[in-house]
């Protein structure tokens, strides 16, 4: 999903792959415009959006016309604005939090340089993340098995690409993933590399779980209370748990939500017109992008460097320090 992409180590790139921070020719804009675009983005995944957010920080880092105190105030404002733009997405919080901590000890003369460099390093790490996750996840996919996935995740795509490249081709069942139908795009991209793919409506997941060997999900946040991902993930995971099918979540460590902040990120409702543009009078349309899958329904979380239990993920969440500028009252 989205407008630009950066390449994995592979030749085929899905349309929702990560935006390139410095390799794609985005229109020149100040950080306010970039934040507005992030807030309006209803199709890209959390990692792709966070890479775009890094560009906003890079844009501010280039502002030499501001006095040090004014620049630092702008950085604090930008950090809070990025988080508010997509409040359910942990990578945005962790990007902003990491940059603020990096600048903390830099001094006024080096703050801009440190902020820009930190944003670039984190964006590069995010672009590399799907390949690292795939290297660990590929062995969890049974050769010739059936994989059921929901929504569209760069880590899921890359894992299935690698499964196919290693001659362990799986059949993939994709949900359409309403209302934005990003599951259709994932199905198209997987079919383009030669994987056998079936597309189902979201309401058909109960039957599909019986046909699958494993459920693969991405994540927008790995929170102390559970996994925040596309709406419908919690129900899918609950069905898989009841039927004894493993639920594997593929997510980089930038998706871990700090326990110090809350047990889960806020989940907000979006424009009802995306679901029903001309809703009948008296009908309230709920358009919620995300839900929370409890850890009891998750088998493992695969990150860039290991496969973790839910308890290990919660321990990571407990170790994240939240910058004072981002602590909630």
In angstroms, the CA 275 to CA 179 distance is 6
**CA 16 to chain CA centroid, nearest Å:** 11
CB 231 within 8 A of CB 274: no
> Which pLDDT tens digit goes with each residue over 91-133?
999 999 999 999 998 888 899 999 999 999 999 999 999 999 9
> Which pLDDT tens digit goes with each residue over 137-150?
999 999 999 999 99
Q: Strands 146-149 and 171-175: what pairing?
A: parallel
Q: Count the Cβ atoms, other than its own, within 10 Å of residue 100.
A: 21
Residue 19 — very low, low, confident or very high, per pLDDT cuts 50/70/90?
A: very low
The fraction of the chain above a pLDDT of 70, given in percent, is 91
Q: Is 60 exposed, middle or buried (0-12, 13-18, 19+ CB in 10 A)?
A: buried
Q: Is 128 exposed, middle or buried (0-12, 13-18, 19+ CB in 10 A)?
A: middle
> Which tokens go with 12?
């085929």
Helix-then-strand count for the chain, H and E: 10, 10
pLDDT in the model for residue 21: 33
Q: Which residues of 14-47 are buried (b: 16+ CB within 10 A; e: fewer)?
A: bbbbbbbbeeeebeeeebeebbebbeebebbbbb
CB 183 within 8 A of CB 216: no
Q: Count the Cβ atoms, other than its own, within 10 Å of residue 86.
A: 25
Q: Nearest-CA neighbor of 165 among 140, 185, 135, 126? A: 135
Residue 29 — very low, low, confident or very high, per pLDDT cuts 50/70/90?
A: low
pLDDT in the model for residue 43: 80
> Which pLDDT tens digit goes with each residue over 58-89?
999 999 899 999 999 999 999 999 999 999 99
The fraction of the chain above a pLDDT of 90, given in percent, is 83
**CA 314 to chain CA centroid, nearest Å:** 18
CB 177 within 8 A of CB 244: no
Domains and their CATH numbers in the chain: 31-128 (1.20.120.420), 133-326 (3.40.50.10470)
| Rounded CA Rg of the chain | 20
In angstroms, the CA 12 to CA 164 distance is 12
DSSP assigned state of 24:
S
Q: Which residues pair with 291 in a beta bridge?
A: 229
Residue 35 — very low, low, confident or very high, per pLDDT cuts 50/70/90?
A: very high
Residue 257 — very low, low, confident or very high, per pLDDT cuts 50/70/90?
A: very high
């Amino acid at each position: 999903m989205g407008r630009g992409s950066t390449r994995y180590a592979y030749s085929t790139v899905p349309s929702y792959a990560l935006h390139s921070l410095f390799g794609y020719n985005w229109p020149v804009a100040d950080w306010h415009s970039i934040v507005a675009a992030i807030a309006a983005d209803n199709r890209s995944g959390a990692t792709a959006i966070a890479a775009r957010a890094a560009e906003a920080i890079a844009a501010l880092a280039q502002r030499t016309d501001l006095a040090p105190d004014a620049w630092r105030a702008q950085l604090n404002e930008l950090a809070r604005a990025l988080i508010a733009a997509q409040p359910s997405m942990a990578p945005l919080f962790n990007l902003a939090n990491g940059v603020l901590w990096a600048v903390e000890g830099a001094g006024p003369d080096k703050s801009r340089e440190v902020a820009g460099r930190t944003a670039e390093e984190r964006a590069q790490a995010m672009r590399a993340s799907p390949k690292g996750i795939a290297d660990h996840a590929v062995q969890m996919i049974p050769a010739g098995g059936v994989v059921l996935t929901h929504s569209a995740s760069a880590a899921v795509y890359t894992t299935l690409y690698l499964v196919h490249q290693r001659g362990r081709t799986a059949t993939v069942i994709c949900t359409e993933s309403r209302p934005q139908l990003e599951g259709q795009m994932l199905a198209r991209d997987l079919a383009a590399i030669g994987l056998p793919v079936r597309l189902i409506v979201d309401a058909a997941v109960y039957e599909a779980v019986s046909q699958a060997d494993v459920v693969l999900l991405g994540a927008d946040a790995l929170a102390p209370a559970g996994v925040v991902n596309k709406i419908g993930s919690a129900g899918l995971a609950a069905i898989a748990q009841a039927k004894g099918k493993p639920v594997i979540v593929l997510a980089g460590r930038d998706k871990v939500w700090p326990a110090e902040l809350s047990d889960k990120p806020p989940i907000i409702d979006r424009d009802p017109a995306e679901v029903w543009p001309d809703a009948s009078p008296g009908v309230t349309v709920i358009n919620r992008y995300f839900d929370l899958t409890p850890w009891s329904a998750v088998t493992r979380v695969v990150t860039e460097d290991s496969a973790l239990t839910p308890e290990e993920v919660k321990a990571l969440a407990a170790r994240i320090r939240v910058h004072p500028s981002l602590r909630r009252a």
